[in-house]
Amino acid sequence: MLLESLREEVLDANLELVRRGLVLYTFGNVSGISRPDGLIAIKPSGVAYESMKAQDIVISDLDGRVVEGTLRPSSDLATHVELYKRFPGAGGVAHTHSEFATAWAQARRPIPCFGTTHADYFHGPVPVTPDLTPEEISGDYEKNTGLAICRLFDTLGTGDTQAVLVAGHAPFCWGQSASDASRTAVILESVARMAYYTLGIAEEAGPISRALHDKHYLRKHGKNAYYGQVQSK
Amino acid sequence: MLLESLREEVLDANLELVRRGLVLYTFGNVSGISRPDGLIAIKPSGVAYESMKAQDIVISDLDGRVVEGTLRPSSDLATHVELYKRFPGAGGVAHTHSEFATAWAQARRPIPCFGTTHADYFHGPVPVTPDLTPEEISGDYEKNTGLAICRLFDTLGTGDTQAVLVAGHAPFCWGQSASDASRTAVILESVARMAYYTLGIAEEAGPISRALHDKHYLRKHGKNAYYGQVQSK
Amino acid sequence: MLLESLREEVLDANLELVRRGLVLYTFGNVSGISRPDGLIAIKPSGVAYESMKAQDIVISDLDGRVVEGTLRPSSDLATHVELYKRFPGAGGVAHTHSEFATAWAQARRPIPCFGTTHADYFHGPVPVTPDLTPEEISGDYEKNTGLAICRLFDTLGTGDTQAVLVAGHAPFCWGQSASDASRTAVILESVARMAYYTLGIAEEAGPISRALHDKHYLRKHGKNAYYGQVQSK
Amino acid sequence: MLLESLREEVLDANLELVRRGLVLYTFGNVSGISRPDGLIAIKPSGVAYESMKAQDIVISDLDGRVVEGTLRPSSDLATHVELYKRFPGAGGVAHTHSEFATAWAQARRPIPCFGTTHADYFHGPVPVTPDLTPEEISGDYEKNTGLAICRLFDTLGTGDTQAVLVAGHAPFCWGQSASDASRTAVILESVARMAYYTLGIAEEAGPISRALHDKHYLRKHGKNAYYGQVQSK
């Protein structure tokens, strides 16, 4: 029953990527997790969004072993698994090749916080991983991608920014649910676009002040938030 | 009765931002004012456009106190209030994070008047505020944002350009009604896009002549206007 | 009867600009001419495309005097008139503020022929007029805009390129009919976009060879054309 | 019977270009081949996509002679023919003037492999042909375009990258079927867009490592592929 509704939410969170123009053909994948039983629901590999149904969503455990479903899970499952292990608050993970966020990942530049739209959602620049080594690539590649993200966040010492750019690859986002992770991916793309345009207007543009960054992030997050109708303090 | 139709117009002016692709999710907000009784109708905070109804539009007075409606008003209400106080001709205010206008705000560069499309609607460059101070940010932030805009227009000595870029944040636009303010936001975004492309083609591009700027602005505005069907001289 | 069908075609040619995303609100205007009786059918000034009907299309003579219709014609009518006088083969004229073509006009740079898409439709760079003088602006502005275009084509010595950029303003296009003029405006925008991107990839990019330019232009135009199903040699 | 279904597939592969926004008006053309009888089904020249029917698709032999159909084939047929002769695995060819891929062709720069999206589909940079000579242009132009592509691939020594940029012109793509060729054209455009944005963020951006490139290409292609549901090893 619970898995049934998780599958439905994960399907819808995947379709949100289509509705928002973030994915082409079978690109991208979103998963959600049921924390009590440690089960992950994820998009099947290489299946067209148009024909995807809730029962096509694959269920795996936290070791990436399929426990329900007849299709193969997204080939990026092992990356999702590492993110779920590292971030206990993550209820969903979204991976896309959305074009502007991917361009920043390809340029290997963190997205600076140029404005309050960024600050509303990400509490710092959106960081970029180092390149994977040839050994990490030839080994358990997708798992190693996840581990590289985790090491990066260990170094940065914060989990507040729920998005990362994998160098030469594309973004991964997470959030408290699959829907939330998808929405973060959509907003990241808009933020990446605006940061790109900002550079085009003023190559030397700098980030907003820490004071303004905190103000915007904290009016939407945490115990003093005052944006929206329902306060989840 | 009058508030009823104001709510309807404000709802539609908010939805215009969605139709024109200027807002994502709950981004942005438009308000309108009934000048005779000093009541402002504004979008509720953090509510999805898809499900918004006229009765969700919140009514406040010119001190920003809610006088009708069960939802909380947009967190930017205090900025709208300052603009209504400063510009007696303003019947509506629109705030978006539309991507190109926001990029100019993030780059902290006024949008130069590169052509007649700009001149048709804005009687000068679209100015950008100075950065807010840490005290303005930690204090009554949204009100201080409005005050910074007002001070800027005091300095510029003109109210003819009904749009402004808040540094590191995004644009605010106004007009004789909520619909007019929304339309200005849409046109500002197009003008911001064309100015961005212009820089990409000729980094050293300069503004059009004062003569051409005035010609275009005045064929659409004021007592000698001759554009359109109805002359409001 | 003939005017009836001209009005219908002109209405549809105007709506093509909406369908292709070339115009916002009341921006832009397309006209067509009935050469035998020298009557021009043109979009009314400042009327929304959504509600426009064939009977709203205004009929004027070649002096720009309205001879049929209750609405005022587009304020750019005088420019259209000059183009019809200068180019006897022109059956339609289209004016838009489409964003990329306008950006080239704002940058005051002719669009170089970077590739065969351009060569398929324009037999040379798309030229840009000089700035109008203050006297031309304060005088009969719209007529003087048309005269500036005509003088430019006198200098260039060719009427093969049915598009021009008015400096600091926007493009005008023409063709053998109103529909043809609209289509040219749509293709010009695509060509302007690709030329913009080309500069972004290779700032020093140069035009294609004269041989390739002629080959493409002439496989679509003139007595040796071999593109399409019907040969109008 | 077989030709009937080939025509249907070729029609749909052509329409895919419209659905994905890769073509304007009559731009572009897709063909498919029936290898057993050496017959090519191709879009007719200069026909609007909206009204195109399966019976409008023209059938030619491998010498480019029409063997079925009342319309004239795409003027680029001779280029398709050369590609079918050179690449025995090609079951379909797609030609578009999609704007970003065309911009790279106009800039005469190969598209570097900046990231894994590129690597997933193209096993190397997307190469660009040399300019055609005046003799190649004035001679059998479309056939010579095909021969220039073939010579380029002879030099590169690989057929793994099923896309090419013709200098100053636009891309040609191929694949195991007409649908596959269309899909490659769509993905090429996305890859071209992201490469363009990447340059805008980091002018000095370099390609991903050979190890990462091979990893991604080979997880989707060849005997060790593990992406998707059906393994065609």
Q: Which residue in A12, A120, A131, A196 is the catalytic one? A: A120
Closest CA to D103 of A133, A112, C202: C202
The amino acid sitting at A11 is L
3-state secondary structure of A59: strand
Which residues in chain C touch residue D108, judged by CB atoms under 8 angstroms apart? 202, 205
**A183 chain-B contacts, CB cut-off 8 A:** 25
Digit-coded pLDDT (tens) for A71-96 = 999 999 999 999 999 999 999 999 99
C54 and D CB contact within 8 Å: no
Q: Tell me, what DSSP letter sits at residue B130?
A: P
Contacts of residue A205 in chain B, CB cutoff 8 Å?
Answer: 106-108
* Predicted local confidence at residue A11, as pLDDT: 98
Subunits next to D (3 or more Cβ pairs <8 Å) are: A, C
Residue B199 touches partner A, C-beta closer than 8 Å? yes
CB contact under 8 A, A197 and B100: yes
Is D121 part of the annotated catalytic residue set?
no
Query: Residue B232: its pLDDT value, please?
Result: 40
Mean pLDDT over all residues of chain A?
95
Would the pLDDT of C233 be above 70? no
Mean pLDDT throughout A190-200?
98
Backbone angles phi, psi at D224, to 5 degrees: -105, 15
- At residue D2 the predicted structure's pLDDT band, cuts being 50, 70 and 90, is confident
Average pLDDT over residues A17-21: 97
User: Cα separations (Å) of C107 from B111, B113, B124, C117, C199?
Assistant: 14, 12, 18, 22, 13
Predicted confidence (pLDDT) per residue in C133-156, tens digit: 999 999 999 999 999 999 999 999
Amino acid at A59: I
Substitution target in A98, A197, A213, A230 with the highest count of B β-carbons within 10 Å is A197
Task: Tell me what percent of the residues of chain D surpass a pLDDT of 70.
Answer: 97
Cβ-defined contact of A137 to D205 (cutoff 8 Å): no
Q: What is the pLDDT of residue A231?
A: 46
Helix (H, G, I), strand (E, B) or coil at A225: coil
pLDDT at residue D1, rounded to an integer: 56
For residue C212, the chain D residues in CB contact (below 8 A) are 131-132, 137, 168
H or E element in which residue D173 lies: strand D171-175
Which class does domain A4-221 fall in? alpha beta
| Mean pLDDT for all residues in chain D | 95
Q: Higher-confidence residue: C158 or C81?
A: C81
ipTM for the predicted complex: 0.95
Please indicate if any CB of chain C lies within 8 Å of the CB of B99. no
pLDDT, mean of each 10-residue run, chain B (233 residues): 91 98 96 97 95 97 96 97 97 98 98 97 96 96 98 86 97 98 98 98 96 92 83 40
Confirm or reject contact between A226 and chain D (CB < 8 A): no
Of A190, A201, A228, nearest to B24 by CB-CB distance is A190
Domain boundaries, given as residue ranges, for chain C: 4-221
Nearest chain D residue to A24 by CA: give it.
D187
E strand spans, chain C: 29-34, 39-42, 58-60, 66-68, 92-95, 163-165, 171-175
Mutate to test the interface with A, among B47, B106, B108, B143 (most CBs of A within 10 A): B106
Which residue would you say has higher pLDDT here, A225 or B166? B166
Q: Which pLDDT score is estimated for A159?
A: 66
User: Under 8 Å CB-to-CB from A55, ≥6 apart: which residues?
Assistant: A7, A69
Predicted local distance difference test score (pLDDT) of residue A129: 98
Would you say residue D188 has pLDDT above 90? yes
- Cα–Cα distances in Å, from D203 out to A98, A104, B201, C110, C114? 20, 12, 17, 26, 21
What pLDDT digit, counting tens, does each position of C63-84 carry?
A: 999 999 999 999 999 999 999 9
CA atoms of D131 and D117, how far apart (whole Å)? 28
Chains that touch C (3 or more CB pairs under 8 A): B, D
Among A200, A212, A227, beta carbon nearest to B200? A200
Q: What is the residue whose two structure tokens read 């964003």?
A: C99
D174/A227: higher pLDDT: D174
Burial of A34 (0-12, 13-18, 19+ CB in 10 A): middle
D134 pLDDT more than 50: yes
Q: Which chain D residue has the Cα nearest residue A200?
A: D200
Residue D18, pLDDT above cutoff 50? yes
Q: What is the pLDDT of residue D232?
A: 40
Instruction: Evaluate whether B126 touches B170 at the Cβ level (below 8 Å).
Output: no
pLDDT of residue A36: 95
Cα–Cα distance, C84 to B192 (Å, whole number)? 33
Min Cα separation B167/chain C (Å): 24
Nearest CA in chain D to C205: D107
Strand, helix or coil for residue A17: helix
* Distance from C-alpha of A212 to C-alpha of A205, rounded to nearest angstrom: 16
**This prediction's pTM:** 0.96
pLDDT score, position D231: 45
**Among C75, C103, C107, beta carbon nearest to B219:** C75
- Give the tens place of pLDDT for each residue, C222-232: 888 888 886 44
For chain D positions 100-129, those within 8 Å of chain C (CB to CB) are: 100, 102-109
CA pair distance C214, B139, nearest whole angstrom: 67
β-pairing, B92-95 with B163-165?
A: unpaired
pLDDT value for C159 = 66
Residue D233 predicted with pLDDT over 50? no
Q: Go through C144-153 and write b for each residue having 16 or more CB atoms within 10 A of its CB, e for each that does not.
A: bbbbbbbebb
Can you give the pLDDT at residue B224? Answer: 84
Q: How much is the pLDDT for A224?
A: 84
**Has C227 been annotated as catalytic?**
yes
- B58-64 contacts, C-beta under 8 A, 24 or more apart: B59/B3, B59/B7, B62/B38
User: What would the two tokens of residue A101 be?
Assistant: 């966020």
Distance CA B215, CA C137 (A): 7
Find, among D109, D112, D82, the residue nearest to D95 by Cα.
D82
D120, D131, D141, D196: the active-site residue: D120
Average pLDDT over residues C148-175: 94
- Residue A129 CA to chain centroid, in angstroms? 14
